[in-house]
Structure 1
């Protein structure tokens, strides 16, 4: 069977071809789309809708479960604080790299696109962003109304991911403090997370269809001039991801007295799985496994840091990507950015990285960034066309950063097993005999093109 990576590439080629055919057939994307355009748009938008549907239960179960794991951690408050601090430090470095690349490369300049008619040009407000963290209700629900005509008003209900995260953190901490009485609730949350991981993997398997629809729609709507800008955008993103992964991370590893070679050989299985699965939560079991078995992170700490990182630690999705993407959208539509805009990008990336959710995090984060900066939200739909290509690299960086922070904090706190960290690697999972007893984990990263899911999320099928 064709591997998952090849399925994505085939879908990209078919999307470009079908989008070109749809453009040749004529019609207008807004008023009179042809049947092929309508089909491609329906496929792409439906996939995005399914992805968004998984965000809320993923955030709630993952955050509460990760906090619950602190029950078994000694000196939990100190470890939690150090973990969050290193999350913020690495995110800030990554977002600065993204901003510099966006300004220097200027991927969105020269498209000639007009600003959307609905765009008001109102600048974002950091105060509005901070106020937005305060939950208006326990479900994080928000309603918006739009007047279609004098007699029709359209009202829609949306979830505010940041508010849901705040609620989940409060509930998780309260459950932790409650003790035995909350044990059934925490068990239920952990079971819910396992179920959602299975659902997420099913959604991931539909990614080739979503890719075909989104890229085909983009080719039809924006033409080859705009698509050329998207290629430059993709290249700029990957330069940023590579700089963070292979320049910033090695420096941090070395500064903390650890071997760079041992770190990358240890984390490599998770990087591979993240690249082909495009899901930090789907890769989470592998990330935690290699953190414990290859990097020597204690199990009691890894079971807190890795699940929390899978929802809130996203140097790819929530730092490099939104920085370059926001600058691209501004340049694409000819909007001038001020120094305050760049400050807001950094603020949203560091504080708002919690809005990521392991699958649709980048889309949520981009929407949050553009909204805060007051930039045209039309750019979200444009960038979704090439999102599958970018998401592979973003997710690989995400899971690498999650393992990095766990290793660094463990080393600085004196709880890292240095014998395991420095041990010779045997096979994909290092010198871990336990891997052989878990066939799913043992084969999950046997090839960079394998789409076999990690334990807890696999359908038990090979795709090679």
Structure 2
């Protein structure tokens, strides 16, 4: 009986996949297919939970099968992240007119990412105050207690690292290890290595132009192959979003959401304010925020369902270059840096809210100027090197809470709603990296305004 029900559930997913394939053959837009997958995934997940209930064996086995499509798609994206970042940055630097431009681009991108993370922290503090959040109001069950103990164990991995040591961790000592993504700072390490290779080629061009030209041809050929792989993978986006959203909704802990509803609401209010802040930045630099929003929504939709900033890098780069008109080099660096630096949701808003919630439990007033200034500065510094995959927010929270002298175990109280909040945080993280790329290109005169204003650019290029 169970196997028959699981088969029916799988057939339901396949039927929706068939619908999306039909839409593609009818040449319906990429955006419409993405949102069809998103909406259908929500409905399918809600139906599965309503019929079988969270934690049932049938639901567990069904979502395992769905993961072939959902997590399989994320794995394919993660597969191409390292080669895409590496070859794109090398090619971008090789094509720079002046090597001095590299420093300007990096400085603007990192500056925007870190400064917006500090603003996001202030917004998180404001949301915690507005909703009167306090960790003492939350009851700790068995799962929450276990989570707290796990966080205390993880704290030992990060609390002994000083700020200079954290900065040193960005520098690659074994580039092949970082290509496997084994460290939280692996993406930054790959970026740094690629920048060094690009700079080396610029130097070689002056001393041995023939060898430099040969290497450039190899890089261009490799870039063309990698971009073709990206094209093939991105065509699967509507299917990946469908399965990811179905699994997420089906496994959502409704009881946990109801119990911690105030924190969920406060978090999404803060994330919405941060998103509006991003749009105001876009408008402040003379660009239409609605045009920007229309072009980034498919990327944010995937970030929301996948909960992976790193996995969204290929989509992020494509949207910046082809839809927003951002220079290729800037788009590559903004997407890569943004996956681990200055994440507004995970490294900005979330640790700030936790700190304000937890401080009263140890007799600290979180709204004194000394506490707030210290908190925002620590968040700005610690926003470097947050892993761009699920769990990055936990890593950021450990650093911030331990630096503020606050107990980290209380952060485990939110385990039941972690996934739900993380979806919104990831979307804001990715949007921040796209804003950083767009504004940097605008400031340095490398934004193609015609492409930015072209309403059809998203259809022609992101749909591939």
TM bucket normalised to smaller = 0.5 to 0.7
Whether 1:363 and 2:398 are equivalent positions in the alignment is no
Indicate if the aligned counterparts of 1:102 and 1:328 stay in contact, CA closer than 8 A.
yes
Task: Give the alignment partner of residue 409 of structure 1, picking from 427, 430, 444.
Answer: 444
Cα drift, residue 73 of structure 1: 2.7
Superposed counterparts of 1:434-449, under 5 Å: 443=456, 445=458
Match of 1:59 among 82, 97, 117: 82
Instruction: Report 1:205-354 matches (<5 A).
Output: 205=238, 206-219=240-253, 222=256, 224-226=258-260, 229-246=263-280, 248-251=281-284, 253=285, 260=286, 262-264=287-289, 267=292, 270-276=295-301, 278=303, 279=312, 281-289=314-322, 292=325, 302-313=327-338, 318-328=343-353, 342-349=376-383, 351-352=384-385
User: 1:71 and 2:81 equivalent?
Assistant: no
Contact 1:20–1:219 (8 Å) recurs in 2? no
Structure 1 residue 277: deviation in Å? Answer: 5.3
Q: Distance in 2 between matches of 1:45 and 1:316?
A: 30
Matched with 2:106 is 84
Deviation at 1:273, TM superposition (A): 4.7
Structure-2 change in CA distance of 1:129 and 1:52 (3 Å): farther
Q: How many residues in Structure 1 have an aligned counterpart in Structure 2?
A: 385
Say if 1:102 and 1:236, in contact at 8 Å, map to a contact too.
Answer: yes
Residue deviations 1:1-28, cap 9 Å, x none?
A: 464224323423443453455547xxxx
1:34 equivalent to 2:57? Answer yes
- 2:139 is the alignment partner of 1:139: no
More helix by share: 2
TM value normalised by structure 1: 0.67
Contact 2:113 2:433 in 1 (8 A): no
Equivalent positions of 1:165-204 (< 5 A) are 165-178=191-204, 179-202=212-235, 204=237
TM-score normalised over the length of structure 2: 0.67
CA RMSD of aligned residues (A): 4.3
Give structure 1 stretches of 5+ with no counterpart.
144-155, 254-259, 356-360, 433-441, 446-451, 460-464
Q: Is the 8 A contact 1:98 1:319 kept in 2?
A: yes
> Any unmatched runs of 5+ in structure 2?
1-22, 24-31, 205-211, 304-311, 403-407
For 1:218, what is the secondary structure of its paired residue? Answer: coil
CA contact (8 A) 2:114 2:380 kept: yes
Gap change, CA 1:49 and 1:137, over 3 Å in 2 = farther
Match of 1:383 in 2: 418
C-alpha separation in 2, matches of 1:176 and 1:381: 51
Partner residue, 1:112: 139
CA shift in 2, pair 1:165/1:42, >3 Å: farther
> In 2, Cα distance between the equivalents of 1:75 and 1:142?
28
Distance 2:293 2:257 in 1: 38
Please state how far the C-alpha of 1:177 moved relative to its aligned partner.
3.9
* 1:286–1:329 CA distance, 2 compared to 1 (3 A): same
